[in-house]
Amino acid sequence: GNLFNQHTVASMTVTRHDRVTVQRQRRKVRKTPPFLRHHSDLFMRVGSSWRKPRGIDSAMRRKYRGYPAMVEVGYGTPRKVRGFHPDGTKHLVVHNTRDLKLLTMQNDKFSATIAKAVSARKRKDIIELANQMKIKVTNSKARLRREEAE
C-alpha cells in the first residue's frame, strides 16, 4: 500500500496562511540559476548534471566573478512551502479507495493523484468516490479516454 497513514497525513496539516505563502513564493521573480556542472558547456564528455567543483585551484569553487553560481543552502525553498504544487495543495499518490479515505478531512489541503499502475476500472471507482468526498484528483482524465472511444 501507501507509505502514508492517518497520522502522517494529520501531521502534514497545512493552514490557509501556508497556502497563501505558497502562492507568494511562486510569484517571486527570483529564479534559481540552472546549476550546470562546470565545463559541461566545453566538453561533450562532461554531463550537465550538477557536481560540486572540488579542485584546489578551481575558480568556480573559489567563487570568482564571472563564473556560474554554485548550489547553496540559500536557494532552498522555505520548509513550510516545500513540496507544494502550484495549485496550493500537496499531492498524495492513491492506489485504492482506502488510501483516498485518508484525505476525508483534508480535501482542501491535499489533492489525490492516482498511481500509474491502477487499472481503468479501479480508477473509475476512485474518481467516483473522490467526487462524492469533494477531493480534487489531479489526473482524473487519465486512462478513461480509451474506454470512451471504444
CA 114, CA 111: separation in Å to the nearest integer?
10
Banded model confidence at residue 79, pLDDT cuts 50, 70, 90: confident
SS3 18: helix
| pLDDT for residue 78 is more than 90 | no
- The predicted model scores a pTM of 0.59
- The residues, any chain, with a CB within 8 Å of residue 69's CB and separated by 6 or more, are 33, 35
| pLDDT for residue 60 is more than 70 | yes
What percentage of the chain exceeds 70 in pLDDT?
Answer: 76
Query: Using one digit for the tens of pLDDT, what is the confidence trace for 96-134?
Result: 989 888 888 887 788 899 999 989 899 999 999 999 999
Max CA distance (Å), the chain: 65
Of 108, 148, 143, 147, nearest in space to 126 by CA: 143
- Averaged pLDDT for residues 140-148: 69
